[in-house]
């Protein structure tokens, strides 16, 4: 099932995809159907009682590391992001006026569903609620060295569109055999600029959950952004970027000033 969070009629609602429409699932509007273009799309993540931890991987695809002339890491290269970076489907991401190179990064985002501590790889998927698409923009002007990122490269308001759907983990397992069997693609103004496959991750989803949960507790609602393949290009104000992951969704974003 594909879950969404949207703003409509002055309130935030939970919905699911149903026959090409949004079906509201909570009172007082339960059963109400809306067109996709009638609503404001929000990150498809329910509020959580504690601060949400957002863990993001750098250089988790060997081809992307080569593209940037960096050595592929021997253990996960991770950084933490603030939740203010997250915005929804069809939202605007600001491109600072002083930069010369800002690019998208199509990434599979893992949403934790059960508390994970000292989890082994063979049990890792039991702690996943589902998956969504993230576009984790980077500004190369701010990059200082390979041990990235400099905080300004990645952790900025509006820099990480996410959505449109949170797809149940079971659906991805049943239809594709799990999250490591998915094609990724990015288009800029309708032109394909990035293609990849999750099987090419250096550290797969179970490995990442085992790695993180060995020294920290992962809570329901936490996110793991799993990195991007090669094929990133500079984008300008007005460009429309669509980051797509097979079975998970097509996330649309536009760069603004």
- For residue range 53-68, what is the model confidence (pLDDT) as tens digits? 999 998 899 876 667 6
Residue 147 pLDDT more than 70? no
pLDDT computed for residue 143 by the predictor: 77
Which comes out higher in pLDDT, residue 256 or 66?
256
pLDDT computed for residue 84 by the predictor: 93
Which comes out higher in pLDDT, residue 50 or 206?
206
Residue 148 pLDDT more than 60? no
User: Alpha-carbon distance 60 to 73, whole Å?
Assistant: 8
Sequential DSSP letters for 207-234: HHHHHHHTTS-B-TT-EEE----S---B
pLDDT tens digits for 170-218? 999 999 999 999 999 999 999 999 999 999 999 999 999 999 999 999 9
Long-range contacts formed by 121-125: CB under 8 A, 24+ apart: 121/206, 121/207, 121/209, 121/210, 122/206, 124/205, 124/206, 124/209, 124/210, 125/169, 125/173, 125/178, 125/205, 125/206
pLDDT computed for residue 153 by the predictor: 85
pLDDT computed for residue 58 by the predictor: 85
pLDDT computed for residue 175 by the predictor: 96
Residue 149 pLDDT more than 60? no
Report yes or no on whether pTM surpasses 0.85: yes
């Amino acid at each position: 099932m594909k879950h969404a969070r949207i703003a409509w009629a002055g309130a935030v609602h939970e919905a699911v995809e149903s026959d090409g429409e949004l079906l509201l699932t909570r009172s007082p509007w339960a059963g109400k159907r809306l067109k996709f273009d009638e609503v404001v799309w929000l990150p498809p993540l329910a509020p959580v009682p504690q601060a949400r931890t957002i863990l993001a991987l750098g250089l988790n695809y060997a081809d992307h590391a080569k593209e940037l002339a960096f050595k592929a890491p021997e253990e996960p290269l991770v950084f933490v992001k603030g939740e203010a970076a997250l915005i929804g489907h069809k939202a605007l991401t600001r491109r600072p006026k002083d930069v010369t190179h800002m690019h998208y990064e199509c990434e599979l985002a893992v949403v934790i569903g059960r508390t994970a501590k000292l989890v082994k790889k063979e049990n890792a998927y039991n702690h996943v609620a589902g998956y969504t698409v993230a576009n984790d923009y980077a500004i190369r002007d701010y990059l200082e060295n390979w041990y990235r990122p400099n905080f300004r490269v990645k952790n900025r308001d509006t820099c990480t569109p996410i959505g449109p759907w949170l797809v149940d983990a079971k659906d991805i397992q049943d239809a594709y055999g799990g999250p490591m069997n998915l094609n990724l693609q990015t288009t800029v103004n309708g032109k394909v600029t990035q293609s990849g496959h999750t099987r090419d991750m250096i550290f797969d989803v179970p490995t990442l959950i085992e790695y993180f949960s060995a020294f920290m507790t992962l809570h329901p609602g936490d996110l793991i952004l799993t990195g991007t393949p090669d094929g990133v290009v500079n984008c300008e104000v007005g460009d429309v970027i669509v980051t797509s992951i097979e079975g998970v969704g097509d996330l649309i974003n536009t760069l603004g000033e």
